[in-house]
A = this chain, B = another copy of it.
Amino acid sequence: MLSPAPVPQAKPFLAAAGQFAGGQDTPRAYLERCLETLAAWEPKIGAFVCTNIEGSRAAADASSMRWRDNKPVSAIDGMPIGIKDIIETADMPTGMGSPLFDGWSSGRDAAAVAALREAGAVILGKTVTTEFAATEPRGTRNPWDPGRTPGGSSSGSAAAVAAGLVSAALGTQVMGSIVRPASYCGCVGFKPSVGGINRGGSHDELSQSCMGVLAATLEDAWQVASEIAARAGGDPGYQGLVGPLRMPPPARPQRLVFLETAGWQVASAEAKKAIQKSLALLSRNGIDILTRQSDQLVGAVEEAIADARALSIRINTWESRWPLNTYRNRDAGKLSRAMLARLAQAEAMSLDDYRADLDERIRVRALYESLAAQCDACVTLAAPAAAPVGLSSTGDPVFAVPFSLLGVPAISLPLLREQGLPLGLQVTGFQGKDATTSAIAGWVEKHCNE
């Protein structure tokens, strides 16, 4: 008789690290458990492009000594972390999911990676990304069902975290690249306010792109983000992630807005039912929930974000003109058809077209921000359904893209189920209010998990 397939299980870190100080556990032992999981799962899911196991062991040993001496350099000292492969690492190549960059090494760490190393984290490897963090998948499989996509573009980060190969991983999101794979793989995905984490050395130079974290728990995700921000800040010229190092305690919201988004039209009946059940739980807990039906401003926001996908695509397309043009010049045969098509679209746009799109984004952002006077945060689905079958697409970002356009914090919580598979409940906040959003997400998590 075959043993049943193992269930993917993420590895919380902060909770486990409580054992490090007392010596019952060590970062090295923790890492070895990750490596065992890696050996078991990696052949099935293909989450990593490459790993640095010897380097990780050395880093974990150094961390173990610090914990033994009661001198951890941060709360994430010893945490095994995966790095999306568009983000530079000094000890491993950065392939960007493109044959053009196969084996390419910058010889330096990205700002976030340098900060993680300063904080004592253990950089285990580079996680699979779609081509240039866009749409072309690179073979990673969903740990819940290897016949399904893990989502993208942070495909390997989500799969690796969900199956416990690492405790957390860096991702980036310009459309739905953190929230969607977090939803599909059943881990927490945290996309901060735009500019919240320094993107230096991360090759996603689009104006609404944001670096974020996939992790086993919300507390872990927050801690990774805050430890990076404390050392590397946000993007140049931005305040950087605002909030304490440790996640603030769960905070009861007074009022939430439920946003259908354009995703409602394509969400499965089961997914709709799942979020409606959560909303009912929140209501039962005395939370006032505004909807497009009950509130005019919410209706106006829904209308303004209905076009988020098309608007985001246009903005991203213009901003991708470079470097795609120079990559096409180098070797067009190494770009996917999707990338070549995007470049052709970019070349058909003018700077004036782009300016009009930026103006529209400013308008939509201002309208959404006006909701802040009415509510503490918004909730919606993180995806229309569970991960779709097949590896040729990373799925539909429709529920994530409005919040990428808006540049606001967005958190996918692995609270829902669809077809017996993970589905995220998404909590979104307002620009710069990442700490509040996390605290509310913490409360929602607690009260929708009953």
Residues in A161-219 with C-beta less than 8 Å from chain B: 198, 200-201, 205-208
Residues in A132-180 with C-beta less than 8 Å from chain B: none
**Residue from A239, A323, A350, A355 with most neighbouring chain B CB atoms (10 Å):** A323
B323 near A111 (CB under 8 angstroms)? yes
Residues in A304-333 with C-beta less than 8 Å from chain B: 318-319, 321-323, 325-327, 329-330
A267 within 8 A of B: no
Determine which of B206, B240, B350 lies in contact with A355 in the assembled complex, contact meaning CB atoms within 8 Å.
B240
A325 near B114 (CB under 8 angstroms)? yes
Interface CB pairs A-B, < 8 A, 18: A108-B326, A109-B326, A109-B329, A110-B322, A114-B323, A200-B205, A201-B326, A208-B237, A229-B351, A230-B350, A233-B318, A233-B319, A233-B321, A233-B351, A233-B354, A236-B319, A240-B354, A240-B355
Residues on B with beta carbons closer than 8 Å to the beta carbon of A236: 205-207, 319
Interface band, chain A = 35 or more
State the copy count for this chain: 2
Query: What 19 new A-B contacts, CB under 8 Å, besides A110-B322, A207-B236, A233-B318?
Result: A90-B329, A108-B323, A108-B327, A109-B326, A111-B322, A111-B323, A114-B322, A114-B326, A115-B322, A118-B325, A200-B322, A200-B323, A229-B351, A232-B321, A233-B319, A233-B321, A237-B358, A239-B355, A240-B355
Q: Which 3 A-B pairs have the closest CB atoms?
A: A207-B237, A111-B322, A207-B236
Q: Dominant SS at the A interface?
A: helix
Residues on B with beta carbons closer than 8 Å to the beta carbon of A355: 239-240
A107 within 8 A of B: yes
B351 near A201 (CB under 8 angstroms)? no
In the bound assembly, the distance between CA atoms of A218 and B448 in angstroms comes to 64
Residues on B with beta carbons closer than 8 Å to the beta carbon of A200: 205, 322-323
Q: List A residues at the B interface (Cβ < 8 Å).
A: 90, 107-111, 114-115, 118, 198, 200-201, 205-208, 229-233, 236-237, 239-240, 318-319, 321-323, 325-327, 329-330, 350-351, 354-355, 358
- Among residues of B, the one whose C-beta sits closest to the C-beta of A349 is B233
- Among residues of B, the one whose C-beta sits closest to the C-beta of A320 is B236
In the bound assembly, the distance between CA atoms of A206 and B319 in angstroms comes to 19
Residues on B with beta carbons closer than 8 Å to the beta carbon of A198: 322
User: What's the least CB distance linking A447 to chain B, in Å?
Assistant: 32
- Among residues of B, the one whose C-beta sits closest to the C-beta of A89 is B326
In the bound assembly, the distance between CA atoms of A94 and B358 in angstroms comes to 32
User: What's the least CB distance linking A48 to chain B, in Å?
Assistant: 22
B239 near A107 (CB under 8 angstroms)? no
In the bound assembly, the distance between CA atoms of A111 and B321 in angstroms comes to 9
**Residue from A110, A229, A354 with most neighbouring chain B CB atoms (10 Å):** A354
User: What's the least CB distance linking A80 to chain B, in Å?
Assistant: 21
**Residue from A229, A239, A351 with most neighbouring chain B CB atoms (10 Å):** A351
Residues on B with beta carbons closer than 8 Å to the beta carbon of A118: 325
In the bound assembly, the distance between CA atoms of A330 and B109 in angstroms comes to 10
A232 near B322 (CB under 8 angstroms)? yes
User: What's the least CB distance linking A354 to chain B, in Å?
Assistant: 6
User: What's the least CB distance linking A229 to chain B, in Å?
Assistant: 6
Residues on B with beta carbons closer than 8 Å to the beta carbon of A240: 351, 354-355
A323 and B206 contact, Cβ closer than 8 Å, known pairs A330-B90, A358-B239: no
Residues on B with beta carbons closer than 8 Å to the beta carbon of A206: 236
Residues on B with beta carbons closer than 8 Å to the beta carbon of A358: 237, 239
In the bound assembly, the distance between CA atoms of A233 and B206 in angstroms comes to 13
User: What's the least CB distance linking A344 to chain B, in Å?
Assistant: 14
Residues on B with beta carbons closer than 8 Å to the beta carbon of A231: 321
- Among residues of B, the one whose C-beta sits closest to the C-beta of A229 is B351
- Among residues of B, the one whose C-beta sits closest to the C-beta of A110 is B322
- Among residues of B, the one whose C-beta sits closest to the C-beta of A240 is B351
Residues on B with beta carbons closer than 8 Å to the beta carbon of A107: 330
In the bound assembly, the distance between CA atoms of A266 and B107 in angstroms comes to 43
In the bound assembly, the distance between CA atoms of A237 and B407 in angstroms comes to 12
A230 near B114 (CB under 8 angstroms)? no
